[in-house]
Structure formats: C-alpha cells, structure tokens
Amino acid sequence: MDLQKIIPYRKMSLKELLVPENKLMALIAIVLTALFFIGVIIYLIHGHHAYGVTREHPWGLLIAMYIFFVVSSTGLCIVGSFGDVFGFKDYMAVSKRAIFGSIITILSGFAVIAFEIGHPITMMIYNVLSPGLTSAIWWMGTLYGIYLTFMVIEFIFLMRNDMKNAKIFGLFGLLVGLAAHSNLGGVFGFLNARVVANGVFYPTYFILTAFITGIYLIFLMYGYKYRGKPFPEDVTKALINFMKIQGLLLAILMFFETWKMLTGVYGGMPERADVIMHILHTKSFWLGEVMCGMVIPFLLILKSKGTAIKSMVWASFIGMIGIFYMRYDLVHDAQLFPMQTLKIREYQLPPSFVDYFPSSTEMMIGFGGIGICLILYFLGTKLFDLDSMPEHH
Amino acid sequence: MARYGMALDYKNCINCKACEVACKEENGVLLGADKHRIWVGVKEIEGEFPLLSIASNTFMPSQCQHCEHAPCQEVCPTHATHYDENGVVRVDPDKCILCSYCMNACPYDARYVDDRTMTVDKCNFCSDTRLARGETTTACQATCPTKVRIFGDLDDPNSEISQVLRDREHFSLKPHLGTKPKLFYLI
C-alpha cells in the first residue's frame, strides 16, 4: 500500500529527515528525550519507588505533565478549529499546524502517563471489558482515545486538502476533545473528599486555560518558524486576532481566579479556606501562575493593543511556564489537605499540609515528554506541508 | 448474604497496636509504616504540665469505613474496586490499573499500594482469609485485649453489632460527605 496515497508527505531520505534545522533546538530535544528514556529505565527497575509520590499524595509531577500536554492538545484543537471547522478564513493559515500540534502534544501526554499508570496494558483491556461508567477517569481516557482518532483522521484530510471531510472530523474531534477535557477537570471536580477541588470550577477552568494554552503555543510555533524574519501576511492576521482573543481570555481567567480565591477564603470553610490561604502564601502561585501565566502576557497585550506579535512569542514562552505551574499546582493543591493527619477525627487543625516534591526520575520522565513532543514536531514539520492554504488548491 | 459492619468502642483502646500487627500477620501486609490496612491514631496530650488535658489524649482505631456509597468505588475506571456480596468494599488486583484515583477519592486515607502486586490494597474485613475459612471474626477484632471491636452482620437484628448499635449512641467519620460508613464509633 502506498502511504503517499493515504496521507501526502514529502519524500526524503532518512539522512535528510534527521538533519536538524536548528542545532540548539535539536540538542535540547535530544537531551530531554534521552532523559525521558533514562527516567523510564529507572522506573522500570524501581517502579513507583522511584517517584516522590506517597500514600497521602499519590499524584505527582507526571499527572501534572499529562494534564499540561492534554491541555495543550485541546487548546491547539480549539485554535485549529477556527479555520478548518468554523471556516473563519483569517485563521485558516494556522489550522494545519495547530491540528498537527494537537496530535503530537496528546501523544506526548500519553507517553508520560503510561509511566504513571501502574498497569497501562491492563487499563486498555479492562477499560473495554469492565468499564467504570461512574468514573471521570474512564470517560476522560476513553474520550481522549476517540479524540485522538478523530484528530488523526482530520489531519489526514487536511493534508489531502479535503476540507469538507476535515471539517466533519474536526467538528467531532473538537466536541469529543472538549468533553474529554472537561472530564479531566471532573476528575478533580467530582472529588468530594477534596474540598478545594470539588465543584464546577475545574471542568470549566480547564477549557478556558486550554484555549489560552493553545494560543500561547501557536505563537511559539510560528515565533520559532519565523525567528529573525517577519511573519507572512496571513499568519500576521491570524496572530493579531488570536492575541486580542488572548487578552479577553486572560481577563476572564483572572476574574475566575479572583473569585475562586475570594469564595475560598470568605466564610472560612474548613479545609477549603485553609488550603486557599496556603496557596495564597506560595511563590509558585504568585510568580508562576499569576505573573508568568497571566499578568505578563496580559500587560503586553494591553500595552500593544494586541499588535506586538513578535514580543508575544516571548510572552507566550513565559505564559507556558505559568501554564505549567497552573497544572502542577492544581494537582498538588488538591492533595494538600491531609485526609486524617494523626488519623484523628476530622475538623481538628492539621499540624501540617502534605509535602510533595518530584523525584529526579519524575522530572526526567515529565520534562522529558517535552523532548518527545519537540522531536515529533520537527519530524512533522519536515514530513508534512503545514503551511499551504487549503483554499488555494 | 450479609451486610458486614464494625462498631468500635474506641474509648477502650489502649493503643497496644495488637490489631495492626494481627492485621499484617493475617493478611500478609508488607512491613513498613505506610503499608497498613488499619491503624490506631494517637492524639497527643494538650496543655503544659501540670495543666495537662487528660481528656484530649485519645486513641482512635480506624481503617476502611466500608462505605455504602464508597467514593473509591465510584471513581474506579475498571470496576477493580467493587462491593462484594456482603457489602464489603474490595479490590480485584487483576483489574486494578494503579491509577491511584481511589486513593485520592477516599476521604479516610484508607488505601495504600501493595508493592508485590503493584495494585491498591485496603481492609476487606479479612474476607479472603478468615471469613473465607468460615470464621466469623476479623483478625483485629480477635486479638484486641480490651474488646474494642465488634464485627458482624448489620442486617441480622440479633447480631452483637446490631444490638450494640441499638443500645449505644454512636457516630461515624465525615458523615457530611454522604458516604454512609459501616464503621461506627461508640460513645
């Protein structure tokens, strides 16, 4: 079977494929990927003992990185859908790259989570044979599997410039992706034992921050591609529009966060108020989430009235650091309050919050996932034409 | 078919931890402080000498609450956590994928990872050891020197646990969560 007939790609020798376009980025990608595999080997030898997770804090950096990647994927899917699903011509220029990005980010997420889930093969078997329909993890995992299938089919149609079919599969992919991603928020939102996470906040917040992440990433991808060069006209138009949308989204996010914190502290509800006060005293919240994730990019957007798209590339890099802290903090914060410290009756003040710091193995696998994502991206940009405008064909 | 529960006359607890040892011995729970199905919580004495609050110094034996609406069962993606025919919340290690969601969902911190099977383990009222052999007591109950624990069928009106729950006031942990625990603390 000729693969070229299924999905058009550029034919090249292996040597051409592997020659790096930028040596520094290639080095970063290779080092991170090597760390990923070293981490995996350590994990395969020592199991979860290689991680910093404990009985009281069973989820750690790898869950945070998985969320980081799937948020990125959903976000790029939303960003890509503007052009090829909803048919807004101004955004069409970035659709192919965004949809490709959504595929590789979720694959990187799956690569990371495969080494956090203790029995991934058992999961695939019993997800089908014995589905736990009341479990948000079941829905999230299953829907993400379907989502990935739709996104791959959409991408194939995009590469073939079959916009009609790309639109159909893109729409289904988007809807399933949104459902999957809000279910990921539900994984935390359904936990009535974890008062700070319980409720409607996370399922909606995940969709909002996914959109924000998607826009940061589209700036990073184009900023890298056109480094030291001006953006082409069609990309400029899309990026200026996205930058303005980003301003609105960041404003909404800051509004949401403000009310989350106010409602958390006000009234002093046991457990929730304690945890929120603790969060409000951490640098990772103020410097990571607030400054990097929201304020710095927001101020740039305000100052330039949404036109400084070259500076926005750097602001997006800072923004992605903030997005990482958002993911890490939400996993950590949900588990901060000890369920029964000293194993005593509830509602007695805990002597301390639950401690957690990722082990070196977790860092290697978690951040190494970024290396896998980068390598897939560079291979993709060589193999596929991610720039041609479909309506020109 | 039974509906097993346990009443704890916790004020009788002397913190000898014989129950913890018996549980580990009977069920082959691995050694190590964080590997435990049951525990005795200790609350330190409050105040400064000579104004010490003897009343504040309590021992609180606890374990899986075998909730009727168990959050751990609801969140399990593969039905590894399930209710058996006696209403006991159990884990099927063949189906457990070690996603740890149940450990996060349990409001009582009653679950831990068994390093041999790399699956989540918890108290199952000795269902696959003593009850499977036809005995009617759990290891922790049988060994307790001050008779803190009363194990039995809540559906049998003549069982000791049903009688004691009729006779004495009791409370359960975190009742506001709606989990309906089947562990009862006698006042």
Q: Do A123 and B173 count as a contact with CB atoms less than 8 A apart? A: no
Write out chain A residues lying below 8 Å of B46, CB-based.
none
Task: Evaluate whether residue A391 is within a structural domain.
Answer: no
CATH number at residue A69: 1.20.1630.10
Residues A369 and A332 grouped into a single domain: no
Residues A179 and A77 grouped into a single domain: yes
pLDDT at A343: 54
Nearest CA in chain B to A46: B115
Task: Evaluate whether residue A157 is within a structural domain.
Answer: yes
Residues A38 and A77 grouped into a single domain: no
Tell me whether B76 touches chain A (CB under 8 Å).
yes
Tell me whether B104 touches chain A (CB under 8 Å).
yes
Residue type, position B180, single letter = K
Four-CA torsion A180, A182, A187, A188, nearest 10 degrees = 160
**Residue-wise pLDDT tens digits, A217-234:** 999 999 999 998 999 999
Total structural domains within chain A: 2
With contact defined as beta carbons under 8 Å apart, do A305 and A261 qualify?
no
**Residue-wise pLDDT tens digits, A31-57:** 999 999 999 999 999 988 999 998 889
pLDDT at A390: 59
Task: Evaluate whether residue A242 is within a structural domain.
Answer: yes
Residues A36 and A132 grouped into a single domain: no
Q: What is the CA radius of gyration of chain A?
A: 21
Task: Evaluate whether residue A176 is within a structural domain.
Answer: yes
Residues A222 and A365 grouped into a single domain: no
Residues A30 and A75 grouped into a single domain: no
With contact defined as beta carbons under 8 Å apart, do A78 and A199 qualify?
no
CATH number at residue B138: 3.30.70.20
pLDDT at A347: 38
Task: Evaluate whether residue A389 is within a structural domain.
Answer: no
Tell me whether B178 touches chain A (CB under 8 Å).
yes
Total structural domains within chain B: 1
The closest CB to that of A58, out of B40, B103, B173, belongs to B103
**Residue-wise pLDDT tens digits, A55-100:** 889 999 999 999 999 999 999 999 999 998 999 999 999 999 999 9
Residues A216 and A167 grouped into a single domain: yes
Residues A368 and A241 grouped into a single domain: no
Residues A31 and A116 grouped into a single domain: no
Distance from CA of B41 to the nearest CA of A (A): 5
**Residue-wise pLDDT tens digits, A344-368:** 543 344 457 888 999 999 999 999 9
Task: Evaluate whether residue A3 is within a structural domain.
Answer: no
Write out chain B residues lying below 8 Å of A187, CB-based.
101
Sheet with B4-8, edge to edge strand ranges: B149-153, B4-8, B183-186, B170-171
Comparison of pLDDT for A388 and B184, the residue scoring more: B184
Q: Do B39 and A344 count as a contact with CB atoms less than 8 A apart? A: no
Residues A238 and A365 grouped into a single domain: no
Nearest CA in chain B to A132: B77
Structure tokens at A42: 């350590």
ipTM: 0.91
The closest of A316, A378, A325 to A29, measured between CA atoms, is A378
Tell me whether B173 touches chain A (CB under 8 Å).
yes
Cβ count within 10 A of residue B143: 18
Structure tokens at A278: 């603790």
Q: What is the CA radius of gyration of chain B?
A: 17
Read off the pLDDT of each residue in B1-20 and give the average, rounded to a whole number.
93
Residues A22 and A107 grouped into a single domain: no
DSSP 8-state symbol, A307: -
Could you list the residue range(s) of the whole structural domain that residue A268 is in? 53-337
